[in-house]
Chain A
Amino acid sequence: MKRSFLLYFIITITGLLLIARLFQLQVIRGADHNPVQNAAVKVEYTYPERGYIYDRNGILLVANQLSYDVMIVPKEVTVLDTLEFCSLLKIDKKAFKKRFQRAKNYASWLPSVFLKQLAKDDFAFLQEKLHKFKGFYIQKRSIRNYPIASAANVLGYISEVNELQTRNNNKYQQGELIGKRGIEKQYDSVLRGIKGKKYLHRDRLNKIIGSYKDGIYDTLAINGQDITLTIDSKLQQYGELLMQGKRGAIIAIEPKSGEILALISAPTYNPNRMVGRQRAGNSVQLFGDVHNKPMFDRGLQATYSPGSPFKIINALIGLQEGVIDEKIHFSCYKGFKYGGRKNEFMGCHCGTFGTAVRLQTAIVKSCNTYFSNTYIKIINNYSNPTKGMDAWNTHVKSFGLGNFLGYDLPSGRKGLIPNGKYYDDRNRYRWGPTTNISNAIGQGEILTTPIQLANVTAAIANKGFFYTPHILKKTNGKLVNNPNFTIPKQTTIDSKHFTPIIEAMHRVFKKGGTGQWSQVKGIEIAGKTGTVENFTKINGVRIQQKDHSILIAFAPKDNPKIAIAVFVENGGYGSSIAAPIASLLIEKHLNKKVLRKSEEKRMINLSLKSIYDQQIQQPLETAH
């Protein structure tokens, strides 16, 4: 019996162990349920109203409207009159079967969205007859409504949280709406509020018996908070109007606070198109438009070479480094030869042939020769080009370039400001400032986004510091105080150097300057035009396109109230399109109305469609 004794013994011991564990689980632990874990309790959610969004002057930009989703719990659906149901919902039988199967695949005992955002009239009809169709119920939700069709890129939109998120995460239910872009995304937690929970008792047949434990676990929905943006809606709409038929961006900032007054990306779209049942179709169309890219916020995400406005920064660095002053002069002979070889010649159209060009003239006439020399001097001010480049890099970055600015919107680009290591890694042989001389005039490797340039403009307007651009002004009527945005950031340039620069920028808008035709009576504007070379790769070949037209400006010169950057893709000279648009916006903002009606009309009607169409004929692959 000895050998089987072991077996009996083992069986008995393990049997007892298992029973002991059973005892522990069932008798000792027993019934300590979490109400939601208990399968006999169902949770019903009430969704609060999403917060409204206003512009800085209290104009309503985003409101809510009610929407009704038809929800289904497949397990609870009994035999029904599909014909009647389909006609009430305005879908066909095939669609019904498909949606039913999809809901079953998700989970047959959990609710999922059967039909989204029922039309208001359909809702009334269905509501009457809904009791006939077991397993279906209507979930009320609020979706957005945009009284003013503007600022779509800033506001963003909301759409359903995706299935994967709902399955793995108890925070969201199927069909819930969350912000996907723009402000809706950035401040989603502020806008959405907190959903309310009602716990209901069900019997085995899933009929609701009543409130679970008299509702002690129930919670009320808490409405989302309203937010006020720094955007000036009238300015925003005006800018969007001026940018029709063109592609590009306009950013306007209030220099003394960093508040973003307007953030325009063109082409844009009517935000109401991304609401409700039509959103899916519109979304496909808008995202699929790879040429116009209306969903791409050019103000935040497009990286361009900054062009001539960047010369201002080089000038400031030169002054700070002490390698130039107001008196030093260079002579420009339609350009500047910076090296021994034939192609090492920087062309220039400043028109000062042979005469002495000093700082202010250089800015007003946008002389490449002057700035090339300045740049070389800056870099050579150090023991080797790498160190010089790094020093230059530090100066430039202090203006907020080459990195994320830190504003409160969910998209952006760092841009590119090269440093010593950048060129060390890319040059086999010794290199110097003449290797990358294009940096002097804002071309070359430098990449910036329009909002970065607008911020630089604000820094110049303030004579040496800036506030991080931001777009949230108030929450629930109370001003927001975020130290990220209220503490100024200093540039590395002493404020005394800004004075001559600003003088020169002012002269740009006087007779003889590149912005002379965009003067506004009664307003002292200071700015700099830019004509940016750009290329696209077509069939592997780098082809030059029409230059981008850009301008940075601020006004009034003393005590500036607005700093603005305008980019118009393929618009030609800075003075052609960017300058007039910028000056119109400045006039609008400071005077509240525009008197130069013919200029206004000209800009509105000017369309670059023919140029853009030409680009479409080839596959798109921009060099940036």
Chain B
Amino acid sequence: MRTERNNIFQNIDWLLILLYILLVGFGWMNIYTTTLTEESTGFFDLSTRSGKQLLWISLSIPLIILILFFNSKFYERFSSILYLISLASLIGVFVLGKNINGAMSWYSFGGMSLQPSEFAKAFTALAVAKFLSDRQYNLNLIKNQIKVFIIIFLPALLITLQPDPGSALIYLAFFFVLNSEGLALNYIILGVITIVLFILTLLFAPSTITLISFVIITLFVYFFAKKDSTYLRFHWYKPLSIYLVVGLFIFSTSYIYNNVFYQHHRDRFDILLGKSTDTKKIGYNTNQSIQAISSGGFSGKGFLQGDRTQGKFVPEQDTDYIFSAVGEEWGFLGSATVIVIFMLLLYRIIYLAEKHTNKFGRIYGYGVASILFFHIVINIGMVMQLLPTVGIPLPFFSYGGSSLWGFTLLLFIFIRLDAHKSYDW
């Protein structure tokens, strides 16, 4: 035991910690500039968001110490319990939680608010890692696939019901993890086809797409039939079921889009797909953020000098749209650098995960990288109008205690696990 503790500092990956500090620090600077008002009240004023964020950041330090205190075996052993606790917290939020902005996503006590969905990410990743590493599961067996899906699906469902479908979306990240652990690539291909069909159905009339897809399927059937003359006789049910599933999917997409999605969801899709260009109401946010980013030019306008950021033109700029502040004030140089730093962070995590000889640490590492990747890509994609508006924070940048701690938790558990990779289990 003592040797463990002594070796911690030798084995901790300082590069990751450095990247973490860089991101958190630069992130804070951007929160500062977006929340700056005429009344310059200093950095530590707790009535401002930048002051509060500084508080969350300082409180992360004890959190980090706490995380590093437990040994890696603890995380592995207690992963299921931690997972169950996070599920309980997600259920409990319906009963004990506060409704903010139309979603029951928050616990509120003593002036502080906590969002359980931010913490659930880390614990779900732990649970998935534990589950997959316990035995040599062949992930291509249906029953195992189902079990894993349930582990991932439950928190996602609870979060969607809050309702916060945006936050639930990131659970898709686990596909990458599963794929790396042997889940057939077919699933990802299937997923991609699904998304493409979905988008095409929205862009054009359902009947047109159905027609086109049926033609394509028929072509495939023709090929198979040519190669194997008995195909149609013995395997006729395969193409038939594909026709059925595709047709059903297209029409249920259309139905769900028009009847289940709320109007603002539809509006966001319409803007993204170019079907409408409303820059006054729904498209206002992304339009403003694009303007802000564009106006940064090559080298940006300088720290605290961005007039759109200072003029508070971009709504939600300290949370979801924080990257637009980076874009305006730091320009292409600054924003690209941020992206590169994120990439380095992800590379490093995967590299270290690869070096783990035990499955648990490795799978968890993939989980961390995937989750972070998803957040980064969706958030920055949305801010630059490549993706529809989804309320997902940018890790370490977006204002919010729960968000910051959630990601800190996610990352530092990995750092802790990683510090022991040299030990064989």
- Using a CB–CB distance below 8 Å, which chain A residues touch chain B? 1, 3-4, 6-8, 10-12, 14-15, 17-19, 21-23, 25-27, 29-33, 37-40, 75-76, 78, 108-109, 168, 204-205
Closest Cβ of chain B to A262, distance in Å, is: 45
Give the residues in chain A near B298, CB-CB below 8 Å: 26-27, 30
Segment 290-345 of B: residues with Cβ below 8 Å from A: 290-291, 293-298, 304-305, 307-308, 310-313, 327, 331-332, 335-336, 339-340, 342-343
Known contacts A6-B180, A18-B339, A26-B327; is-contact A40 B290 (Cβ 8 Å): no
Q: Are A25 and B294 in contact (CB under 8 A)?
A: yes
The residue that A25 contacts in the complex, of B182, B293, B366, with Cβ under 8 A, is B293
Q: Is the interface of B mostly helix, strand, loop or mixed?
A: helix
The residue that A4 contacts in the complex, of B311, B313, B354, with Cβ under 8 A, is B354
**Nearest-CB distance from B121 to chain A (Å)?**
18
Indicate which residue in A7, A21, A78, A108 contacts B176 across the interface (CB closer than 8 Å).
A7
Across the interface, do B305 and A26 meet the contact criterion of CB distance under 8 Å? no
Report yes or no: B373 in contact with A11, Cβ–Cβ below 8 A.
yes
Interface residues of B (CB under 8 A from A): 37-38, 176, 179-182, 280-281, 290-291, 293-298, 304-305, 307-308, 310-313, 327, 331-332, 335-336, 339-340, 342-343, 346-347, 350, 353-354, 366, 369-370, 373, 377, 380-381, 384, 386
A residues less than 8 Å from B384 (CB atoms): 18, 21-22, 25
- Given A21-B386, A75-B37, A75-B38, check contact A29 B294 (CB 8 Å): yes
Q: Which residue of A lies closest to B373 (CB)?
A: A11
| A14 and B335 contact, CB distance less than 8 A | no
| CB-CB under 8 A for A26 and B180, given A18-B377, A39-B308, A204-B307 | no
Q: How far is the CA of A137 from the CA of B176 in the complex (A)?
A: 59
Of the residues A6, A15, A23, A37, contact of B340 by C-beta under 8 Å? A15
Q: List 25 A-B contacts (CB under 8 A).
A: A3-B179, A4-B353, A4-B354, A4-B366, A6-B179, A7-B350, A8-B347, A11-B343, A11-B369, A12-B343, A14-B373, A15-B342, A15-B343, A17-B386, A18-B384, A22-B332, A23-B332, A27-B332, A31-B295, A38-B307, A75-B38, A78-B38, A168-B280, A204-B304, A204-B307
Would A26 and B311 be within 8 Å (CB), given that A3-B181, A8-B347, A18-B339 are in contact? no
Residue from B38, B180, B313, B343 within 8 A of A76 (CB atoms):
B38
Interface of A is mostly: helix
Residues of A within 8 A of B343 (CB): 11-12, 15
Which residue on A lies nearest to B331, using beta carbons?
A: A26
The answer to whether A204 touches B37, judged by C-beta atoms less than 8 angstroms apart, is no
Q: Taking each of A1, A7, A10, A40, which has the highest tally of chain B beta carbons within 10 Å of its own beta carbon?
A: A7
- Per the bound structure, the CA–CA distance linking A7 and B370 in Å amounts to 9
Are B312 and A3 within 8 A (Cβ)?
A: no
Q: How far is the CA of A14 from the CA of B376 in the complex (A)?
A: 10
Partner of B350, one of A8, A18, A31: A8
Residues of A with C-beta under 8 A to B342: 15
| Distance from A254 Cβ to chain B, minimum over Cβ atoms (Å) | 47
Other 8 A-B pairs with CB < 8 A, given A7-B176, A76-B38, A205-B38: A19-B336, A22-B327, A22-B332, A23-B332, A25-B293, A26-B332, A40-B307, A168-B280
Q: In the assembled complex, how far is the CB of residue B163 from the closest CB belonging to chain A, in whole angstroms?
A: 27
Q: Which residue of A lies closest to B297 (CB)?
A: A30
Q: Chain B residues with Cβ under 8 A from A204's Cβ?
A: 304-305, 307, 310
A198 and B377 alpha carbons, distance in the complex (Å): 42
A6-B179, A8-B350 known; A26 and B377 CB under 8 Å?
no
A residues near B373, Cβ cutoff 8 Å: 10-11, 14
Contacts of B293 in A (CB 8 A): 22, 25-26
> Could you tell me if A109 and B312 are in contact, using CB atoms closer than 8 angstroms?
yes
Provide the bound-state CA to CA distance between A37 and B298, in Å: 20
Residues in A with CB closer than 8 Å to B180 are 3-4, 6-7
Q: Are A26 and B354 touching (Cβ within 8 A)?
A: no
Cβ of A75: which chain B residues have Cβ within 8 Å of it?
37-38
A343, B308: Cα distance in complex, Å: 81
What B residues does A15 contact at CB under 8 A? 339-340, 342-343
CA distance A6 to B373 in the complex (A): 13
Could you tell me the distance in whole angstroms from the C-beta of A5 to the nearest C-beta in chain B?
A: 10
The chain B residue sitting closest to A107, CB to CB, is B312
- A205 CB to nearest chain B CB (Å): 8
Chain A residue nearest to B377 in the complex (CB): A14
- For A12, what are the chain B residues with a Cβ–Cβ distance below 8 Å? 343
Kindly list the 3 A-B residue pairs having the minimum CB-CB distance in the complex, ordered from nearest.
Answer: A39-B311, A39-B307, A3-B180
Pick from B297, B327, B346: contact of A11, CB under 8 Å: B346
Inter-chain contact A22/B354, CB cutoff 8 Å:
no
Q: Which of B38, B281, B297, B353 contacts A27 (CB 8 A)?
A: B297
Inter-chain CA distance A31–B293, complex, in Å, is 10
Return the chain A residue nearest B346 by Cβ.
A11
Does B381 lie within 8 Å of A18, measured CB to CB? Answer: yes
If the complex has contacts A1-B354, A14-B377, A29-B294, are A39 and B347 also in contact, measured as CB distance less than 8 A? Answer: no
